[in-house]
Amino acid sequence: MTIESLKGIHTYIEEQMKAWKVPGVSVAVVKDQEIVMMEGYGYRNIAQSLPVTSETLFAIGSSTKAFTALAAGILAGEKILDLDTPVKEYLPDFKMFDAFATERIG
């Protein structure tokens, strides 16, 4: 994968930002453990016209749940993880605050 093969990604990102009314994003593309693209788009502060850079930090809040679900789905697709197997089979020390939730998830 080269920058040349990513030529259309810039336009796509800008179109999606406009469609979803997103003021700014930071995007990285990693291939074979190598960063092939890392770029900021738009603004991190619209009022002050401060641009997003590859170093801009974003508060991602509850997004980690989506990342975890994506990772689990990928691992399941590769037959590394079975989504029907209790979490405690993979992580014996797994425990949530609520014992009931631990049993339902784990």
What's the predicted TM-score (pTM) here?
Answer: 0.59
Residue-wise pLDDT for 53-69, tens only, equals 989 998 887 788 888 89
How far lies 53's CA from each of 10, 28, 92, 97, 99, in Å?
Answer: 14, 11, 40, 38, 43
Please report the pLDDT score of residue 105 as a whole number: 66
Residue-wise pLDDT for 74-92, tens only, equals 999 999 999 888 888 888 8
